[in-house]
Structure 1
């Protein structure tokens, strides 16, 4: 069951060939984790979405409040008979125009799929990565938004499959490592934990924000938002990926370097505790 502008039905052929998200990538999305009918980190997701819509000059309807959109998401879950779900909320400008839109009014689609587990679990599976250098992430503001323009992530995923990798690392024009194909990255060396700054072009990730808040309260770790070079990765003790669906995903191998997972396990336990208490 799909929610299209508040109308929930099984019909999936609801988009016009004039859809601007399809024609021009004139679209944003949020991927949400819902557990027991509670949207995790909902306030952060909502305000990131509103900020992104303003940056793209989309017109935000007066009724598009946090309460309204939350109700639309939960109605979609109810229609799909789900309480734990991965939800995608896609916002796009209405039909009309060429590069210049006829209007800045928006439409939306909400879809939901069942989650395998209501809790964040640390996978014991191997995760081998390497650099994807065919194309670069630009350091500008648009790279920090969750737009539908994800062709680099698509091509990087194809490259990973062709080379028997589990993921790839994306770099910017300065050759700094920015993020993984599906999330932000954190590097651990001793008691120092580094993650690329937003100014490097990495996604303004919701789980990245949660971990930064957790790390700021732990005196045992020194948190740094600094650029990460490929050379640093081979000297690191740990290296992991974060996103709201999987939580923390340890990278186990980069080229000949093998990584530990103890800090990732510690942080995941603190993340789950924060969710339970929050």
Structure 2
């Protein structure tokens, strides 16, 4: 089903409404951030984690109104939009931007937002039946700073990675940080299982602080699987037993190949089952 409505600053409008003015700061400067979420049975998943990350991101960007973006707000607004669109399962995107004029320096820090919903025919998280084939995107390393963990509207690194993926007929790509260490994928966090130990790049390595990343770390600890957030040399990809990706929309996605290396997915399947048990 094609979504009919969006929520723009609290107003329900047709999804094809032309809204962005020429002075919109998200359009002009990428001055904002966004939250990707999953809708199941008409309700948003993990609203507390999403609200916490969103509020911390707004504080970091000095956008006012972050206290409004609490779990209740996310649950209420997403459920209402799902009802309006008659959609039970889908992918949500909440974009928050600085609603102000000015050049690089804004005239104020007022918040504006837009909530969108895309329909999916999946009532739960499905592990991909065909593993992903991946390679490393080296053309544009990701910088490491206090904005690196936030899903900002400045996404050119991921756009260029997506073009590289398409041009090389890959399913996904690994991103490196400015120091040459493993950072994330173009739209997901990365987990590497090596010698019965699970590793994921630490937040200090510049990866986005993914909600599903937090959930999977918790599931691993709950199942007594050793897990470490670390600085990871990409050479480990040639030795790893399993590699998988996580994001809020798709859950857990299994990687089958990197170059000539092929991976198993036993642990990946276990964690995917545990995720759905939540």
Structure-2-length-normalised TM-score: 0.95
State the match for 1:250 in structure 2. 254
Give the match's secondary structure for 2:214: helix
Whether the 8 Å CA contact 2:55–2:69 is kept in 1: the answer is no
Alignment partner of 1:115 is 2:120: yes
State the match for 1:270 in structure 2. 274
- Cα pair distance change 1:119/1:65, threshold 3 Å: closer
Give the match's secondary structure for 1:253: strand
Q: Count residues in correspondence.
A: 273
1:69 deviates by: 3.6
5+ residue gaps, structure 1, are none
Structure-1-length-normalised TM-score: 0.95
Match among 197, 200, 218 for residue 192 of structure 1: 197
1:218 deviates by: 2.1
Match among 85, 108, 117 for residue 103 of structure 1: 108
CA deviation digits over 1:216-270, x for unaligned, max 9? 1222x22111112121110001001001111111111101101111110001111
State the match for 2:7 in structure 1. 3
Alignment partner of 1:66 is 2:109: no
CA deviation digits over 1:77-129, x for unaligned, max 9? 11111121211111001130111111100111011011120111111124111
Give the match's secondary structure for 1:264: helix
Whether the 8 Å CA contact 2:43–2:75 is kept in 1: the answer is no
Give the match's secondary structure for 1:142: coil
1:189 deviates by: 1.4
Alignment partner of 1:39 is 2:44: yes
Alignment partner of 1:132 is 2:114: no
For 1:62 and 1:174, how far apart are their aligned partners in 2?
35
Whether the 8 Å CA contact 2:31–2:98 is kept in 1: the answer is yes
1:66 deviates by: 3.0
CA deviation digits over 1:61-85, x for unaligned, max 9? 6654432342222221111111212
For 1:62 and 1:246, how far apart are their aligned partners in 2?
28
Alignment partner of 1:227 is 2:231: yes
Alignment partner of 1:241 is 2:245: yes
Whether the 8 Å CA contact 2:55–2:67 is kept in 1: the answer is no
CA deviation digits over 1:7-56, x for unaligned, max 9? 11114201111100000000111011011122111000001100100000
State the match for 1:173 in structure 2. 178
Whether the 8 Å CA contact 2:131–2:253 is kept in 1: the answer is no
Whether the 8 Å CA contact 2:42–2:83 is kept in 1: the answer is no
5+ residue gaps, structure 2, are none
